[in-house]
């Protein structure tokens, strides 16, 4: 009886131990499952400089994530950094994101995208407000980027913008272009604008700047050389629109801009991209990456789906421009 009782005790102990081990394993699996569901994605946003277009693109990106269940402070942690148009800041911010091993980077504008792309080939990068990814040496091709960079392009309908200039300023004989010589996107747009202007039989003149300190003097110079001014989606120029408006309002020079934020800040008109929509479109690409449904290497560069007219009625009145009847609905 004693031996039988002893064997029974041993069996009960073994059963208890097995149950404990099994429960422990089950608990571990549940924790792993919960951990996967509760993962917080770290997202770095590097913005080249503050101005309306880039700010709008950033907000569109964040809103697209939120609309698809990715909320900052809940299941994503957004690290927003602004370089204030400083290359050394871009490098420092990029190093920060790489060191922190963020899960995704949104780079806003060409210089910001080039900076972070030069620091990592592993972290997925989405660019927005980038004009030419191939020309900026960010991707192999727009159709098949091939690396860790993809995104949306803000290439404008430049020919149509020049046509708008001619429609609003039919007596113009010389068109000036003011842009930053160190911004690849601006150089590309200026070249396209030159071709469009000369194809219409108009004279082309340009003045370039290297930084924001050059803007006022450059603007004062170019308005003496042209009848109308074209400004591409140049980041330094866009951030300095109040300075340019201070010059062109005195000279009565009509200014056609690359995007509507520049019109709001003193330009005459544009047929341009809605940067909020462009940022939102980029955010939808980000959702696919976070869900593991796609990766930048195989995500084609996406273009804006529509363009909008914007006309500054106050500026038109100040410089004596008559808005054609078919465009009056776009005056604000």
Task: Please state whether 109 falls in left (phi above 0), alpha (psi between -120 and 50) or beta.
Answer: left
Task: Assign residue 100 the CATH number of its domain.
Answer: 3.40.50.2300
pLDDT score, position 116: 98
pLDDT recorded at residue 37: 53
So what's the pLDDT on residue 25? 43
The residue ranges of the chain whose pLDDT is under 70 are 1-37
183 and 221 co-located in one domain: yes
User: Rounded to an integer, what distance in angstroms lies between the CA atom of residue 57 and that of residue 37?
Assistant: 29
> What is the pLDDT of the chain when averaged over all its residues?
91
- Per DSSP (E only), the strands in 223-281 are 228-231, 255-257, 269-273
Residue 322 lies in a domain: yes
Instruction: Let me know if residue 124 belongs to a domain.
Output: yes
223 in the same domain as 175: yes
Q: Which domain holds residue 248?
A: 158-273+308-330
- Residues 183 and 111 sit within 8 Å (Cβ to Cβ): yes
Q: Are residues 144 and 188 located together in one domain of the fold?
A: no
Whether residue 253 is contained in a domain is answered as yes
pLDDT at 20: 42
Residues 297, 245 share a domain: no
Assigned domain for 23 exists: no
Which pLDDT score, from 0 to 100, does residue 186 have?
Answer: 94
pLDDT, residue 290, reads 98
Which pLDDT value is given to residue 113? Answer: 98
pLDDT of residue 306: 85
Q: Would you say residue 262 lies in a domain?
A: yes
How many domains does the chain fold into?
2
Q: What pLDDT score does 326 carry?
A: 96
131-161 per-residue burial string, b: 16 or more CB within 10 A, e: under 16:
bbbeebebbeeeeebeebbbbbbbbbbbeeb
| Residue 315 shares a structural domain with residue 285 | no
Residues 6+ apart with CB under 8 A from 151: 107, 113, 125, 126, 127, 128, 130, 133, 282, 285, 301, 302
- The DSSP annotation for 124-172 comes to -EEEEEES-TTTTTS-S-SS---SSEEEEE----HHHHHHHHHHH-TT-
């Amino acid at each position: 009886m004693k031996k039988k009782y002893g064997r029974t005790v041993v069996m009960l102990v073994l059963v208890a131990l097995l149950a404990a081990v099994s429960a422990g394993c089950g608990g571990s699996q549940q924790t792993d499952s919960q951990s996967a569901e509760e993962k917080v994605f770290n997202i770095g946003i590097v913005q080249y400089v503050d101005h309306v277009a880039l700010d709008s693109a950033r907000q569109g990106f964040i809103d697209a994530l939120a609309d698809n269940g990715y909320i900052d402070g809940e299941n994503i942690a957004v690290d927003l950094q602004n370089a204030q148009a400083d290359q050394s800041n871009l490098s420092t911010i990029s190093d920060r994101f790489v060191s922190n091993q963020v899960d995704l980077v949104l780079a806003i504008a060409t210089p910001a995208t080039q900076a972070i792309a030069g620091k990592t080939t592993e972290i997925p990068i989405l660019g927005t407000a980038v004009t030419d990814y191939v020309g900026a040496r960010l991707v192999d091709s727009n159709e098949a980027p091939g690396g860790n960079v993809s995104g949306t392009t803000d290439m404008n309908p430049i020919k149509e913008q020049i046509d708008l200039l001619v429609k609003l300023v039919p007596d113009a004989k010389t068109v000036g272009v003011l842009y930053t010589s160190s911004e690849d996107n601006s150089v590309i747009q200026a070249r396209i604008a030159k071709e469009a202007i000369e194809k219409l039989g108009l004279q082309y003149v340009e003045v370039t700047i290297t930084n924001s300190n050059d803007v006022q003097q450059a603007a004062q110079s170019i308005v003496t050389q042209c009848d109308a001014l074209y400004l591409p989606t140049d980041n330094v120029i866009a951030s300095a629109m109040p300075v340019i408006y201070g010059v062109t309002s005195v000279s009565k020079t009509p200014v056609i801009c690359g995007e509507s934020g520049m019109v709001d800040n003193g330009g005459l008109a544009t047929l341009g991209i809605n940067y909020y929509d462009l940022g939102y479109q980029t955010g939808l690409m980000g959702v696919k990456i976070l869900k593991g449904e796609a990766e930048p290497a195989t995500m084609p560069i996406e273009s804006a789906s529509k363009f909008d007219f914007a006309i500054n009625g106050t500026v038109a009145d100040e410089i004596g421009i008559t808005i054609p009847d078919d465009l009056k609905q776009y005056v604000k």
